[in-house]
Structure 1
Amino acid sequence: YRYIYSREGMRDDLWWYLPTHRVARRPRRTRRRREPKFHRDVSILFRPDDVAHRRQFGHWEGDLMLFKQKLGQTNVTSLVERVSRFTVILKNPSRHTKPVMGKIIKAIKDLPHQARRSITFDRGSEFMNWPHLQAEIGTQTWFCDPSSPWQKGTVENTNRRARRWLPRKRDIRSMTDQDMKEISDRLNNTPRKCLGWKTPAEVFREKMLEELR
């Protein structure tokens, strides 16, 4: 084939003797240009300063906590409100984006909009269904730069705290949603120095009352 499509072979019209009679060789596969998973408009670069500097309540960070591969695909979503450090932990049967985002929607949809203004994620495939989150409950989404987990440091720090009860080697398949809530309650009822030794639950409650006045 290389000779047939070489200068000498083309001069002798050898391509005519091929079964498909192609004058030019077709590439083995044509690459399709893929649509970007995350639009430029939802980059963390466009996130307002009030969010970045914790001046406004109701902005969250979200992440996925994974476990040893031999224990199956079960994982945990961690959500943390940036001002109060209030934490919600959700169990997922897999990393498929629809059920993961569906659980997030179910967990926060009953909050007033002021308490769920936005969520910042990394660019994991489990968060690809972000347009559904915005369309369903009106919560804005922001996404970190690729390979930049430090840009959502609040939830990364919370994950380290949660690993006390959810180490990577733990088989969480038998754990219930109530078990996850109990872990969230432990985190939310622990006084934090960054909150003036108040608990995340106390600060979250105070901010909620301020927003509803």
Structure 2
Amino acid sequence: MGARRGRPRLPVELEYEFWDVVRAGCSIEEASVAVGVSVSAGRAWVGERGGVMPPATAGPGSRRLSFAEREEIALLRAEGRGVREIARTVGRDPGTISRELRRVSHSPVSSAQRRAYRASTAQGDADARAKRPKTAKLATNLPLRREVQQRLRENHSPEQIAARLREDFPDDPEMWVSHETIYQALYVQGRGALKRELVKYLRTGRAVRKPHRRPDKRRGQIQGMVNIADRPKQVEDRAVPGDWEGDLILGSTESGSAIGTLVERATGFTMLLHLRGDHTAETVAGAMIEKMLDLPEQLRRSLTWDQGSEMANHAQIAEATGLDIYFCDPHSPWQRGTNENTNGLLRQYFPKGTDLSRWGPGYLDKVAAELNARPRKRLAWRTPAEALDKLLSEQSNPPGVATTA
């Protein structure tokens, strides 16, 4: 009998995307939904790694063929296209395509199977080759392993063990090990140089390591928030101005800077919030209240925002401005698509990874004015400023109502 065929393995790109979302502070369930896999698949990834996140720099590199590229290669190969034509279509070097097809032809399958290139099979083989785990130090250094195991049994934490080993063996680097290596040896499949039962000596005693949230990310729902599902249906038709979408665009990690963006749904009219070097809830609330109170009351109907901790003071904002504030579902940027599109335009002025605190309120107003003066196709080539003026004028002078000269 042939080998039993199981389910095809999910592309490794999805797994690293999943870990990126977890690293950003989301739960396993949220991260699974965000990347489009089942919660059981997300839990399986966590179980395989013992809850230990891969390094942020890990993952498939740009030099590797993606699953989408392999699917395209499979289709073109089935149509009888040659290597050079496939390479041109996919945008890869012919040598890359040739090696990819050659690997499949040399795989240990029957000659009938060998003629067919299958994207899922090729991706699974590539993922297996890419793992290539380095031999763990604790697996090859027996004296070090014994020392670590003994100290774990004495209820020392991995961090305490790592520090004391350097103190106790100052002239022997072979007896040094990092606390993260100890955790991985306990938890990660394939790196289990330490006996798994030793986890019971850790303070938590967990069989699976719990992924840590980043300290600057939210740890729960914002108190008193109203979900977008409860937003009135009339907001959707964009017929009346005054419904806004908002978010932050973030600067470099080192600077901790950000700019608040507010976009009116009906017209795309944009306002930018100067946050004076940080984006705490207090700073965002103060900047938004100040900016919104510059608008006439009829333009302060509602605001839809992401579930970021910067909106923890939403009740204060609502009371001061009269806005009804609604929050999107986690990781659902399409629920404020007008704002997302505008943030993309703003990156022309404020590139990713730069210090945004260098820009003063005057420059932010100048950028907003430029965006509001750009003709837009969806506005029949009117500008957002012109469209907003037109809607306000129609509200002031509705059809059928005579105006006095």
* TM-score (normalizing by structure 2): 0.42
Residues 63-116 of structure 1: per-residue CA shift (max 9 Å, x gap): 00001212x122100000000100001221212101101101100113222111
Match of 2:273 in 1: 90
Q: Distance in 1 between matches of 2:337 and 2:387?
A: 19
Match of 1:55 in 2: 239
Match of 1:156 in 2: 340
Match of 1:5 in 2: none
Bigger RCO (CA 8 Å, 6+ sep) = 1
Residues 155-207 of structure 1: per-residue CA shift (max 9 Å, x gap): 00000001001111332222111111111011100000000000001011122
Larger fraction in strand: 1
More displaced 10-residue stretch of structure 1: 191-200 or 100-109: 100-109
Match of 2:224 in 1: 39
CA RMSD of aligned residues (A): 1.8
Mapping for residues 47-196 of structure 1, pairs under 5 Å: 47-70=231-254, 72-92=255-275, 93-196=277-380
In the alignment of these two chains, the number of paired residues is 179
Q: Distance in 2 between matches of 1:103 and 1:80?
A: 15
Q: Distance in 1 between matches of 2:310 and 2:224?
A: 16
**3-state SS, counterpart of residue 98 of structure 1:** helix
Q: Distance in 2 between matches of 1:38 and 1:147?
A: 18
Q: Is the 8 A contact 1:74 1:91 kept in 2?
A: no
Question: CA distance change for structure 1 residues 170 and 135 in 2, over 3 Å: closer, same or farther?
Answer: same
Q: Distance in 2 between matches of 1:61 and 1:73?
A: 22
**3-state SS, counterpart of residue 358 of structure 2:** coil
Mapping for residues 197-208 of structure 1, pairs under 5 Å: 197-208=381-392
Q: Distance in 2 between matches of 1:47 and 1:204?
A: 22
Q: Distance in 1 between matches of 2:288 and 2:396?
A: 23
Residues 19-54 of structure 1: per-residue CA shift (max 9 Å, x gap): xxxxxxxxx9xxxxx9852436x1100111111221
Aligned-partner residue type, residue 212 of structure 1: S
Q: Distance in 2 between matches of 1:35 and 1:143?
A: 13
**Percent of aligned positions that are identical:** 37
**3-state SS, counterpart of residue 350 of structure 2:** coil
Q: Distance in 1 between matches of 2:372 and 2:300?
A: 17
**3-state SS, counterpart of residue 274 of structure 2:** strand
**3-state SS, counterpart of residue 205 of structure 1:** helix
Q: Is the 8 A contact 2:300 2:321 kept in 1?
A: no
Q: Is the 8 A contact 1:38 1:123 kept in 2?
A: no
Mapping for residues 14-29 of structure 1, pairs under 5 Å: none
Q: Distance in 1 between matches of 2:365 and 2:259?
A: 12
**3-state SS, counterpart of residue 166 of structure 1:** coil
* TM-score (normalizing by structure 1): 0.79
Unaligned runs of 5+ in 2: 1-203, 205-218, 398-405
Higher-Rg structure is 2
Q: Is the 8 A contact 2:243 2:301 kept in 1?
A: yes
Match of 2:147 in 1: none
Q: Is the 8 A contact 2:281 2:309 kept in 1?
A: yes
Q: Is the 8 A contact 2:240 2:391 kept in 1?
A: no
Larger fraction in helix: 2
Question: CA distance change for structure 1 residues 35 and 150 in 2, over 3 Å: closer, same or farther?
Answer: closer
Match of 1:15 in 2: none
Runs of 4+ in 1 over 2 A off after TM superposition: 169-174, 208-213
Question: CA distance change for structure 1 residues 158 and 39 in 2, over 3 Å: closer, same or farther?
Answer: same
